[in-house]
Structure 1
């Protein structure tokens, strides 16, 4: 797995802090939840993913920025409109800065919100590199789970063929064969 894909996995996990799934599977009812309900929850998530170091206290404004970024990125994944991604990143300014490691330039975010800059930089780099088009929301209306599409042609629609793909294909089959 390339570094860009590994980095997008963290963005995928960030997007999935909002779980909108609302379906039954094998008799179990899944109800969604929001993993970013408090400053403490955001801090714990960022620390778990090594995105913010100890000693930096987050504020309510940081939580609001994180939730706005998540909402904007999820909205950006709902269509092929690149302007949506640009709008999602607009509140998080990006600049080119010297990269000491390569001697070239790299994108750097400086939003003032600890931990979010890495996510913003990852999204911007993946957009520039073409990997962003592989990050998608499940096409199932009662799921909307973010996933990285590993299909050969990039045409995957479901977070899981075993769950969402199967449920939706079964529904379509039943509709076609209804009397």
Structure 2
């Protein structure tokens, strides 16, 4: 298992995208969303992929529910659906000693993999990088992404897909209103 904080700008969007809410059509094909965490085994596979699970750990339905609850809280916080204070009230944090003799922020959920994700989010917030983790502004997408734009004001998971669809839609609406 990976102990400590992981690279949030890689792992957190991947965690958020374990639910795919995209429903747009592109080139005549409708995208069908899905749930990557449909079972405790799926959760174990995902955690193992990111080296967040101790070999031999058995995950149950409570673990799956905890992962989905955290993912939902993070997505709702990013989208502004709920206040962050409300979204994370169930995840208390405390100061703990780290290996170097200093202090670190620690989560104590009883699930080390969940604690790692929570602590990663906290460190990302503290560094000021959380503002770079976003949900696509397209209402029929909402894919999580790391905004790498210079200004940090990126709105689309992919400018060539969602950004282009938005700009085309706005252009057509303007032409229709003018005509």
Normalising by the residue count of structure 1, what TM-score does the alignment of the two structures yield?
0.90
Deviation at 1:87, TM superposition (A): 2.9
> Which residue of the partner structure matches residue 94 of structure 1?
93
Deviation at 1:92, TM superposition (A): 2.2
> Which residue of the partner structure matches residue 83 of structure 2?
84
8 Å Cα contact 1:5/1:131 also seen in 2: no
What stretches of structure 2 of length at least 5 have no aligned partner? none
Secondary structure in 2 aligned to 1:12?
helix
Q: Following TM superposition, where does structure 1 have runs of at least 4 consecutive aligned residues deviating by more than 6 angstroms? A: none
> Which residue of the partner structure matches residue 172 of structure 2?
174
What stretches of structure 1 of length at least 5 have no aligned partner? none
Q: Separation in 2 of the partners of 1:64 and 1:30? A: 26
In angstroms, what is the RMSD of aligned CA positions? 1.7
Q: Separation in 2 of the partners of 1:75 and 1:131? A: 18
CA shift in 2, pair 1:120/1:21, >3 Å? same
Q: Separation in 1 of the partners of 2:54 and 2:29? A: 38
> Which residue of the partner structure matches residue 109 of structure 1?
107
CA shift in 2, pair 1:9/1:87, >3 Å? farther
Q: How many residues align?
A: 173
Deviation at 1:175, TM superposition (A): 0.1
Normalising by the residue count of structure 2, what TM-score does the alignment of the two structures yield?
0.90
Deviation at 1:24, TM superposition (A): 1.5
Q: Separation in 2 of the partners of 1:50 and 1:31? A: 28
Q: Separation in 2 of the partners of 1:136 and 1:65? A: 22
126-135 or 107-116: bigger deviation: 107-116
> Which residue of the partner structure matches residue 134 of structure 2?
136
